[in-house]
A and B are shown apart, each in its own frame.
Chain A
Amino acid sequence: MELSWWRRAKNQAATVVAIAAAILVVLPLLAIFVYLLLKGIGALNWAFLTQTPKPVGEVGGGMANAIVGSGIILLIASLVGIPIGIGCGIYLAEYSRNRFGDVVRFTADVLNGVPSIVIGIAIYSLIVVRQKHFSAFSGGVALAIMMIPTVARATEEMLLMVPNNIREAALGLGIPKWRTALSISLRTASAGVITGCMLAFARVAGETAPLLFTAFGNQYWNLNPSQPTAALPLQIYVYAISPFDEWHRQAWAGSLILIIMIVAAVAAVRIATTRGTLKGVS
Chain B
Amino acid sequence: MGVGIEVRGLNAWYGKNHALKSIDMTVLANHVTAVIGPSGCGKSTFVRCLNRIHETIPDAHAEGEVKVGDIEVYGEGTDPVEVRRRIGMVFQKPNPFPTMSIYDNVAAGLRLNGFRNRKQTDELVERSLTLSALWNEVKDMLHKKSGASLSGGQQQRLCIARSLAVEPEVLLMDEPASALDPISTSKIEELIFQLKQHYTVVIVTHNMQQAARVAEFTGFFLMGSLIEYDKTEKIFTTPADKRTEDYITGRFG
- A3 B81 Cβ-Cβ under 8 A: yes
Any chain A CB within 8 A of the CB of B113? yes
Any chain A CB within 8 A of the CB of B87? no
- Name A1-18 residues within 8 Å CB distance of B: 1-4, 7
**What residues of chain B lie closer than 8 Å to A2, measured between beta carbons?**
82
**What residues of chain A lie closer than 8 Å to B82, measured between beta carbons?**
2-3
**What residues of chain B lie closer than 8 Å to A7, measured between beta carbons?**
114
For residue B117, give the distance in angstroms from its CB to the closest CB of chain A. 12
**What residues of chain B lie closer than 8 Å to A4, measured between beta carbons?**
114
Any chain A CB within 8 A of the CB of B79? yes
Interface residues on A, range: under 10
Any chain A CB within 8 A of the CB of B134? no
**What residues of chain A lie closer than 8 Å to B114, measured between beta carbons?**
1, 4, 7
For residue A221, give the distance in angstroms from its CB to the closest CB of chain B. 57
**What residues of chain A lie closer than 8 Å to B166, measured between beta carbons?**
1
Assembly CA distance A1 to B84 (angstroms): 12
Any chain A CB within 8 A of the CB of B85? yes
Most buried by A among B85, B114, B166, B167: B114
- Name B46-98 residues within 8 Å CB distance of A: 79, 81-82, 85
**What residues of chain B lie closer than 8 Å to A3, measured between beta carbons?**
79, 81-82, 85
**What residues of chain A lie closer than 8 Å to B115, measured between beta carbons?**
1
For residue B56, give the distance in angstroms from its CB to the closest CB of chain A. 14
For residue A146, give the distance in angstroms from its CB to the closest CB of chain B. 38
Assembly CA distance A243 to B6 (angstroms): 79
Assembly CA distance A110 to B82 (angstroms): 51
Against A, the Cβ 8 Å flags (1 = close, 0 = not) of B115-136 are 1000000000000000000000
For residue B86, give the distance in angstroms from its CB to the closest CB of chain A. 10
**What residues of chain A lie closer than 8 Å to B85, measured between beta carbons?**
1, 3
**What residues of chain A lie closer than 8 Å to B167, measured between beta carbons?**
1
Q: Which residue of A lies closest to B112 (CB)?
A: A7
**What residues of chain A lie closer than 8 Å to B81, measured between beta carbons?**
3
Q: Which residue of A lies closest to B82 (CB)?
A: A3
For residue B58, give the distance in angstroms from its CB to the closest CB of chain A. 17
6 of the cross-chain contacts (CB-CB < 8 Å) are A1-B85, A1-B115, A1-B167, A3-B79, A3-B82, A4-B114
| Additional 10 contacts, C-beta under 8 A, given A2-B82, A3-B82, A4-B114 | A1-B85, A1-B113, A1-B114, A1-B115, A1-B166, A1-B167, A3-B79, A3-B81, A3-B85, A7-B114
